[in-house]
């Protein structure tokens, strides 16, 4: 996918690769981009979060098909000199985590090399192994724990408090998850939490860049703001970034 995007942009000399971290994918990708920029090997990186989930959903499974949507968002990260961290745009830090213990609580079993040497089989088609499966209760429990946890990790690492944050951009999996995450963090001002799930559904890796873009359009995101981003998704993966916009 990345190589095809590069071709369409005419960026045929740029490196391109796909990164899979489910709903945390954009934060993971932005951290990889920031690391490349910081070590001087790359000057400018395009990070894209994109999903076309409507083509892989089982529309008889109400646990999944009513939640997920299609979407895409992107950001350009580039090298810059920072004289005043309190006002100039930059990423303070990102924090990435994963625990494969819970991989089967939200996953697509096949097709997979698990079935090698046969890529496809009648067995997994009959079992519906090619459709996403989710244990909603387990996902909810971990999301409302991990997102506040990783958000606080970012704040603590940079000497900020919850009250210092001007805008919170959470992954858009479920409005109740975001409500509980905000409650866990002690966020008292609902206007500081920007949500888009009511419009677009869960677009997984695209929710964060879509949220940032929609917040800009709505006038909720302005230069100089301190923004905390937190995501949780399949794998399980979870991640956060603290950004000066």
107-145 pLDDT per residue, tens: 998 887 877 777 777 888 888 989 999 999 999 999 999
Work out the average pLDDT over 185-212.
Answer: 97
Q: Place 101 in a pLDDT band, splitting at 50, 70 and 90.
A: very high
Q: Which residue has the higher pLDDT, 201 or 123?
A: 201
Give every strand in the sheet of 167-170, ordered side by side: 90-98, 237-244, 226-233, 167-170, 193-194
Task: Summarize pLDDT for 116-126 with one digit per residue, the tens.
Answer: 777 777 888 88
Strands (E), 195-236: 226-233
Q: Place 102 in a pLDDT band, splitting at 50, 70 and 90.
A: very high
C-alpha dist (Å) from residue 219 to 62, 66, 216, 243: 35, 29, 5, 17
DSSP string, 95-143: EEEE-GGGGGGEE---SSGGGTT-S--HHHHHHTTTS-EE-HHHHHHHH
pLDDT value of position 135: 95
User: What mean pLDDT comes out for the span 172-201?
Assistant: 96
pLDDT per residue as tens digits for the range 41-84: 999 999 999 999 999 999 999 888 999 999 999 999 999 999 99
In the residue annotation, 65 being an active-site residue is answered as: no
Residue 180 clears pLDDT 80, i.e. is over it: yes
Which pLDDT value is given to residue 14? 94
Q: Establish whether 39 is a catalytic residue.
A: no
Helix (H) or strand (E) holding 179: helix 175-185
Q: Confidence class of residue 216 from pLDDT cuts 50, 70 and 90? A: very high
Classify 3 as helix, strand or coil. helix
Q: What is the percentage of the chain residues whose pLDDT exceeds 70? A: 100
Q: Which of 174, 178, 195, 202 is catalytic?
A: 202
Is 195 annotated in the active site?
no
Whole-number Å distance between alpha carbons of 101 and 126: 26
The whole-number average pLDDT for the span 81-96 is 96
Among candidate residues 95, 171, 174, 195, the one labeled active-site is 171
Active-site annotation holder among 23, 42, 142, 178: 23
Q: What is the pLDDT of residue 116?
A: 75
């Amino acid at each position: 996918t990345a190589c095809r995007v590069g071709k369409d942009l005419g960026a045929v000399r740029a490196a391109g690769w796909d990164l899979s971290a489910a709903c945390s994918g954009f934060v993971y990708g932005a951290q990889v981009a920031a690391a490349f920029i910081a070590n001087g090997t790359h000057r400018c990186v395009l990070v894209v979060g994109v999903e076309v989930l409507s083509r892989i959903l089982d529309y008889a499974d109400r646990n999944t098909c009513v939640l997920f949507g299609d979407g895409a968002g992107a950001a350009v990260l580039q090298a810059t000199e920072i004289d005043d961290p309190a006002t100039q745009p930059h990423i303070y830090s990102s924090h990435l985590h994963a625990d494969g213990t819970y991989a089967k609580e939200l996953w697509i079993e096949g097709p997979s090399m698990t079935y090698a040497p046969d890529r496809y089989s009648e067995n997994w088609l009959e079992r519906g192994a090619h459709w996403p499966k989710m244990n909603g209760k387990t996902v909810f429990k971990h999301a409302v724990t991990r997102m506040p946890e990783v958000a606080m990790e970012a704040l603590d690492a940079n000497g900020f408090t919850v009250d210092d944050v001007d805008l919170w951009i959470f992954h858009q999996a479920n409005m109740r998850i975001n409500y509980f995450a905000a409650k866990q963090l002690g966020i008292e001002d609902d206007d500081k939490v920007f949500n888009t799930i009511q419009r677009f559904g869960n677009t997984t890796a695209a929710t964060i860049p879509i949220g940032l873009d929609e917040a800009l359009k709505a006038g909720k995101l302005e230069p100089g703001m301190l923004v905390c981003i937190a995501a949780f998704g399949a794998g399980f993966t979870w991640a956060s970034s603290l950004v000066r916009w």
